[in-house]
């Protein structure tokens, strides 16, 4: 008797970019392996690719061998080995990645009906390739400020993952697991998803809109609800800072009460805390983008570049310009 032949559900290419994040790559790939095992046949097939077909080093310094090069993938586009999905795996230093051949290949695959995914900071590469204009996407919270400034036409969210038509993006880390479990659920059913969850020792698929970061209460160790509300207001108004009077009106407290609460809970004045989180955003923009220093200053609510530089030097013991120089030297090392 002939064995039953099951069709391949998806054929995937994982495109590895130097300094890709290993945890995101592994938690995207392994659910597919587990699904195949649970099903008893190869529903998912994959291969790894790089620009030149040579091994790629992840951000944890582990080198990963690949199966194909970009040139080989181009030849496969019109044949039976064309993938149904391409997943870009990237990580740190993604803002420095510029490869026109890779960008063109991604556009060609997408235009042929191939689904395109991005893990961790992969959305940055998809946006650079012109695939995310007016689309929703997710990216790691640490890269969100620079991404928003670099790609204003992209609807980026601090979600775990986003699916917009044929574009799949996730914030990296274990969010890649959630996105792939969603994919498996769409291809099959919740029963298979639950069996895969049991295999990888997770109890559920998180919602796309679940938090990337710990709630403020856990992250800052603060319990006072008024202080938490004030900090949320501050974080939502970094480019156009609210005055302490405006904040007081929002939370129905007096300025003196807010000052006293912050001294007790945060060990600093509300003005000082507000300044520190604006400077933290500025530091991310300096590291992740090529925005002129004066534009970084404006984006973080400073009225002049000189005042911004003075505040930045006081907090970080170096100027914004020196921050950029140090970053370039680190990347070149």
pLDDT at 2 over 60: no
Query: Which homologous superfamily is 216-331 in?
Result: Homeodomain-like (1.10.10.60)
95/333: higher pLDDT: 95
Of 163, 160, 139, 159, give the one whose Cα is nearest residue 149: 139
Two tokens at 124?
A: 């940055």
Per-residue confidence at 1, pLDDT binned at 50, 70, 90?
A: very low
| CATH code for residues 10-200 | 3.40.50.880
Helix axes 244-251, 225-236, angle to 10 degrees: 130
pLDDT surpassing 90 at residue 188? yes
Which pTM was predicted? Answer: 0.76
- Give the whole-angstrom CA distance, residue 22 versus residue 57: 9
Lowest mean pLDDT among 4-8, 91-95, 277-281: 4-8
Domain boundaries, the chain: 10-200, 216-331
**pLDDT at 15 exceeding the cut of 90:** yes
pLDDT of amino acid 192: 94
């Amino acid at each position: 008797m002939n064995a039953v032949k099951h069709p391949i559900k998806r054929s995937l290419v994982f495109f590895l970019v130097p300094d890709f994040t290993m945890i995101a790559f592994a938690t995207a790939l392994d659910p597919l392996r587990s699904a195949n095992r649970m099903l008893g046949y190869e529903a998912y097939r994959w291969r790894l690719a790089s620009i030149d077909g040579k091994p790629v080093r992840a951000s944890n310094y582990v080198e990963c061998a690949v199966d194909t090069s970009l040139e080989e993938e181009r030849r496969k586009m019109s044949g039976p080995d064309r993938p149904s999905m391409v997943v870009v795996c990237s990580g740190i230093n993604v803002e420095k990645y510029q490869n026109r051949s890779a960008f063109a290949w991604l556009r060609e695959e997408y235009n042929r009906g191939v689904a395109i995914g991005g893990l961790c900071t992969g959305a940055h590469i998809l946006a650079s390739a012109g695939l995310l204009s007016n689309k929703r996407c997710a990216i790691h919270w640490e890269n969100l400020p620079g991404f928003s400034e670099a790609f204003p036409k992209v609807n980026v969210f601090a979600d775990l993952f986003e699916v917009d038509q044929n574009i799949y993006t996730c914030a990296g880390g274990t969010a890649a697991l959630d996105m792939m479990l969603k994919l498996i659920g769409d291809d099959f059913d919740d029963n298979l998803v639950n069996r895969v969850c049991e295999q990888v020792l997770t109890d559920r698929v998180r919602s796309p809109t679940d938090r990337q970061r710990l709630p403020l209460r856990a992250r800052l160790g603060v319990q006072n609800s008024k202080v938490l509300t004030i900090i949320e207001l501050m974080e939502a108004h970094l480019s156009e800072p609210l005055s302490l009077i405006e904040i007081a009106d929002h939370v129905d407290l007096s300025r003196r009460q807010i000052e006293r609460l912050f001294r007790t809970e945060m060990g600093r004045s509300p003005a000082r805390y507000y300044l520190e989180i604006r400077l933290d955003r500025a530091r991310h923009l300096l590291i992740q983008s090529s925005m002129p220093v004066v534009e970084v200053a404006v984006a973080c609510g400073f009225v002049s570049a000189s005042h911004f530089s003075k505040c930045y030097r006081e907090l970080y013991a170096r100027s914004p310009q020196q921050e950029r120089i140090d970053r370039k030297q680190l990347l070149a090392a």
